[in-house]
Amino acid sequence: MIYSKYIKVSKIRKIFLLWILFAILIFTSINNFNKYGNLNILTNDSIKKFTKKFGISIKYVQVTGLVNSDINKINIVTNSIYGKATIFIDISNIKDSLEELDWVDTAEVKRVLPDKIFIKILEKSPFALWQNDNELYLITNNGEVITKKNIDYYKDFPLVVGPDAQKHVEKLVKLINSDLEIYKRITASTRVGMRRWNILIDGRIKILLPEYDYLYAWQELIRLQKTKNILDRKISMIDFRDRNRLIIRLMPGVIDEINQSKEMT
C-alpha cells in the first residue's frame, strides 16, 4: 500500500516539475522576444524539442465505443494527433472532426497527461430505411441520415418512401408496430403528397390511410384482420381515407371467378 502511494506521489511530482520546466521555457522565450523579436520561432521549435525530450507529447490514443464506424476514417483523424504537444492538442477540433463522420453521434475527447488522448464515441442508432429519388439511406428515429453505404444488413428494417418521409418515420413506426403480425407483413410505407401514408402489405395490398384520422384507420384494419382475415383475401386495396365509407378493391380477375362459379351452379 505504501509502495503504491509512493508511485502515485512520484508521478504527480514528475508532472508538476514538467510544468515548471515548461513555464521556464515560455518565460525564456518571452524574454528573447523582447530582445530579438523572434518569439514564434523560439516557442514552436523549443516546445517541440521540450515536449519530445520530457515525454509530454502524444504517444497513445485510445478510442472506445466503435461498432459500425469505419475505423479507417477514425484513424485519419487520430493519426494526426501523435507526436503533438499534449497541452496544445485542440480537443474541440478533434471532437468536431469525429462528429462529422457518418456513424458518429457524439465524441468525448479527453487528454491525460503526460502522453495520452482518450476518445469515447457514441454512435447513431439505425431505425429505418428511407428511399428518395431512387437512393436508399439508413436513418435514425428522428430522420437523420446515417449513411447510404453498406446497408444490406438492414434490409429488414422498416422502409419509408418519399421526400419528407424520414421526418415522420418515428410516429409511423410507433403506429404500425402496434400489431406485430401486420407489421411483419409490411413491405413499404410511402408518404403521399407530404400529407399521409400508403402502406403496402405483402407486396400486393395497398392500405390508404387518412391524413388526420390514421390511428382510427389502423385500429380498424387490425379489427378487420382479426375478425375477417381481410388481408388474406383476394384484394388489392383498402381505402380508409373517408371514415364514413370503406372502399375495398378486389384483385384483377376475382369478379370473373365469382361469375364463373355462379354459372357452374
pLDDT tens-digit map of 10-34:
555 555 555 555 555 555 555 444 4
User: Side by side, which strands form the sheet with 186-192?
Assistant: 145-147, 135-139, 128-132, 159-161, 186-192, 196-201, 205-208, 235-242, 245-250
What amino acid is encoded at 178 in this protein?
S
By the 8 A CB rule, do 151 and 108 touch? no
Asked if the structure places residue 265 within a domain, the reply is no
- Three-state DSSP at 80 gives coil
**Which of 53, 70, 94 is the last residue before a domain boundary?**
53
Asked if the structure places residue 133 within a domain, the reply is yes
CA dist 21 → 43, 112, 151, 199 (Å) = 14, 18, 53, 70
The pTM for the full model equals: 0.75
Indicate whether 116 and 134 sit together in one domain.
Answer: no
Indicate whether 85 and 33 sit together in one domain.
Answer: no
pLDDT tens-digit map of 147-188:
999 999 999 999 999 999 999 999 999 999 999 999 999 999
Low-confidence ranges of the chain (pLDDT < 50): 1-9, 31-42, 262
Alpha helices, DSSP H only, in the chain?
A: 2-36, 39-53, 71-78, 91-99, 169-176, 180-183, 214-228, 254-264
CATH number where 171 lies: 3.40.50.11690
The whole domain housing 140 covers 128-254
Indicate whether 59 and 41 sit together in one domain.
Answer: no
Indicate whether 139 and 119 sit together in one domain.
Answer: no
| Number of domains within the chain | 3
Which residue, chain included where needed, has cell 456513424? 103
Q: Measure the CA–CA gap between 225 and 234, rounded to whole angstroms.
A: 13
Indicate whether 208 and 188 sit together in one domain.
Answer: yes
Indicate whether 81 and 166 sit together in one domain.
Answer: no
Indicate whether 83 and 98 sit together in one domain.
Answer: yes
Indicate whether 99 and 200 sit together in one domain.
Answer: no
Evaluate the CA torsion angle 174, 177, 183, 184 in order and state its sign: positive
Indicate whether 142 and 200 sit together in one domain.
Answer: yes
